[in-house]
Chains A and B, each alone.
Chain A
Amino acid sequence: MTNNGKLSTRGQVLLWAAQRASAAVLAVCVLVHLVTIIYAVRHGLSATEILGRTRGNAAWAGFYSLFVLAVAVHAPIGLRSFLAETLNWRGTGLDVAMMALALTLTMWGLRAVLAVFV
């Protein structure tokens, strides 16, 4: 992906495509998530009742894992553009930092999913 320490043009375009694709996934995920929250609040579900529904539920864990991965792809790519435009931060250092952010978001998100699945 890198050419003399710089992300190749194809790499830059694939990042753009990944951000658009992850945005489409996030649009659905956020909607489902909001409906879930509203359902839980309106039905007065307790923490124990919520955990009773999430523990061992592979479909639930799969959906939120997808949500986490979409966030981990979408946010660092957007932040990469934002930092380049506002702070003029470019190059390998920025790409490494954004990769670290993506891995951190993935780790934190999947840890949260796992915590209410197991």
Chain B
Amino acid sequence: MSTLRVSVWRGTETGRFQSFEVPRLESQTVLDVVTHIQRVLDPTLAYRFACRVGMCGSCAMTVNGRARWTCRTHVDKVAEGGRLEVAPLSNLPVVRDLVTDMTAFFDKWAQARGSFRGARTRHDDFEQVSPDSTARRLADAGVECIGCGVCYSSCDVVAWKPDYLGPAALNRAWTLVNDVRDTGNRARLAAVAGDAGCHACHTHMSCTERCPKQISPTASIAGLKRAAAIAALRGELSDE
């Protein structure tokens, strides 16, 4: 049986890569490899996963330099010369080994007003929204995000500007801007505009290239830039 040489990050912000030899199996995913290390070779290894089928978004790590879902990444696709390097996601504090603290990532969703604000109550009838309308199509294009943090970890602007809201939070805001039922868009546009918001994006498109759900946060951010600029020119954008 052939083996795989795997370097795994150990420690917190400071630490080192530790080498392991893992049996190479057919249809083996990177998550299988990490799980083998923790269950067979070193039970002290810390990592995070839940569903194992690409639904929860909790197993994202940096594999050979790129942020990926480890559960949906086959070793065949990424192992270079029988080697793997597995590290925690970039741009987030490391709790231990492969586990990052995602507090800032999710706090920024709240800062970007990423929660729905409707005007109807349970006593009102359902709002009719045509799936073919332009606004709904724009919302649908970004609405499947599961918050895995791959885009955030891949974003150069987040690395340069720690207060930048990041692709996932801005993508979420854009889906709500295009939700005709939502009533919080004036405050939302003010929250996502400016130097720490959508206008800081350099359109490098790493988020779009690496999103495992094939969402384009870059397109969502471009939409927010236009909407916020129009609001600013109309004098409708004010600090809270």
Contacts and interface: CB of A to CB of B under 8 A. Distances in A.
A36 interface: no
Contacts of B225: 16
Interface core residue of B200, B225, B232 (most chain A CB under 10 Å): B232
A90 B231 CA distance: 24
B199 interface: yes
B229 interface: yes
Contact of B233 (A17, A81, A90): A17
A48 interface: no
Bin the interface of chain A by size.
Answer: 10 to 19
Contacts, number: 47
B126 interface: no
Given A3-B239, A16-B199, A81-B200, A10 B157 contact: no
A12 B229 contact: no
A84 interface: yes
21 contacts: A9-B197, A9-B232, A9-B238, A10-B193, A10-B235, A10-B237, A10-B238, A10-B239, A12-B194, A13-B193, A13-B199, A13-B229, A13-B231, A13-B232, A14-B233, A16-B199, A16-B225, A16-B229, A17-B232, A84-B161, A86-B160
